[in-house]
Structure formats: structure tokens, C-alpha cells
Amino acid sequence: MVCLGNICRSPLAEGILKNKVEKKGLDWHIDSAGTGNWHIGHLPDPRSIEIAKTKNIDITTQRARQIRTADFTDFDLILAMDTSNYQDLLRLAKTEQAQAKVKMIMNFVYPNQNINVPDPYWNDDGFTQVFDMLEQACEAVLRQFA
């Protein structure tokens, strides 16, 4: 799960998918990262923590980190929150095999439409919409791979 700073969207996506995977008893390794380095080591945004908490999901153990080259080897799927993150990830991927792992997360719900999950950082009211979008996407990911 990758967004810009790894404090709003990708921590929510990580928390949502982890929650769903745990309920199904699956042995998946799920993580999140940002393309930028501004928030490394920080907790998710308090508004992300709060919206997750209202859905009985705790994301307070997460800490922001920046995507690294090893992620393209360590993970089978790298999900971008928007087209900017997607393009950044493709540039970071060193091989065609690594690039093939990069997908737009909302394409699991709306194939080939490349719908962006909006960055709610500047909009307090955007966190509910983002949570709902990511819950739909994570459910679709689970249906496809579980």
C-alpha cells in the first residue's frame, strides 16, 4: 500500500486489509509506505487513526516509512493510491517484473479506470470517503487473491 507520505491513505489501506485478512485466517504480510520521506517514523495522521478506530481497526502500531527497492522483491503486489504514486513507483521499479507488481488500488473495484484515492490530508471531511473507497478496494483484492 503506497501513498505520498504514508500517514493518511496507505496506513488506512494497510489496516483495513490486515483486519480482513486476520478475520479470514490468511497468512499474508501487509505493509505500507510512502513515496516521500517527510513523515518517516511518524504515526499515521490522527484523522486516519480516528476513522479506523470508529471501524474497530487499530493502526497506532504503524510508523511511516519510505518505499525501498527491496519492497519490489519482498512483496507480490504493490498498490498505489493515485496516478502520481503509480508513476513514482514505476520509476523506482528496476525491472519489468517489479513494474508488473505495481497496480492502482481502485482498479480492483473499477478495472482499468485508474481512479485516484484522493489525498485527505488537506480536507478533514475526506477521511470517511477515503476509508469507504479503501474498504471497497481491499474487499475486492481479497476476493481476487484469497
Domain ranges of the chain: 2-145
SS3 57: coil
In the structure, what pLDDT confidence band is assigned to residue 85 with cuts at 50, 70 and 90? very high
User: Is 76 tagged catalytic?
Assistant: no
User: Is 138 tagged catalytic?
Assistant: no
> Quick check: pTM over 0.85?
yes
Quote the CA–CA distance of 142 and 146 in Å, as a whole number: 5
Any idea which of 69-78, 97-106, 121-130, 134-143 has the lowest mean pLDDT? Answer: 121-130
Residue 134 pLDDT > 90: yes
Averaged pLDDT, 70-98: 97
Burial class (CB in 10 A: 0-12, 13-18, 19+), 96: exposed
pLDDT in tens, 13-36: 999 999 999 999 999 999 999 999
Catalytic residue among 9, 71, 88, 138: 9
Catalytic residue among 3, 47, 65, 82: 3
Quote the CA–CA distance of 16 and 20 in Å, as a whole number: 6
Catalytic residue among 45, 71, 82, 119: 119
In the structure, what pLDDT confidence band is assigned to residue 128 with cuts at 50, 70 and 90? very high
Homologous superfamily of domain range 2-145: Response regulator (3.40.50.2300)
In the structure, what pLDDT confidence band is assigned to residue 146 with cuts at 50, 70 and 90? confident
Provide the edge-to-edge strand list for the sheet that holds 78-80: 33-34, 2-3, 78-80, 102-104
